[in-house]
């Protein structure tokens, strides 16, 4: 999981990708509740912290809208030695990048992280 996190951080630092990402709405009240409920099933404390961050985000207008993969799960990455390659960018868009971290946690039920 550490290598995947480092690779995701590297992906998020590629500021040029923001202009290439579709302008999709990542956050909506209904989707927020659904996503938080899924995360809470596996890790209530993480869901609580994300909920607090989301409340702060709403109160302070918008976080930086940057490129997000949108569906970070083991089945959408290839790990070979120290190299991690992400694929399946069908759900990519612009939004707060912590959503990718949240997606990675909710995807843990698919199996072990490398």
Residue from 70, 68, 72 nearest 110 by CA: 72
The two tokens of residue 39 are 């995360």
Angle, alpha carbons 83-5-102 (nearest 5°): 140
State the 10-residue block means of pLDDT for the chain, 114 residues long. 84 82 69 81 85 68 70 87 88 80 65 49
Under 8 Å between Cβ of 103 and 39:
no
- What's residue 5's pLDDT? 84
- What's residue 108's pLDDT? 53
């Amino acid at each position: 999981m550490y290598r995947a996190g480092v690779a995701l951080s590297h992906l998020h630092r590629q500021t040029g990708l923001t202009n290439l990402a579709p302008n999709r709405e990542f956050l909506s009240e209904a989707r927020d509740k659904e996503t938080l409920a899924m995360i809470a099933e596996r890790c209530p404390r993480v869901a609580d912290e994300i909920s607090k961050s989301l409340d702060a985000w709403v109160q302070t207008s918008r976080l930086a809208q940057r490129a997000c993969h949108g569906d970070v799960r083991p089945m959408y990455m290839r790990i070979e030695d120290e190299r991690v390659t992400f694929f399946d960018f069908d759900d990519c868009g612009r939004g707060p990048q912590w959503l990718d971290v949240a997606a990675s946690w909710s995807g843990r039920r698919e199996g072990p992280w490398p």
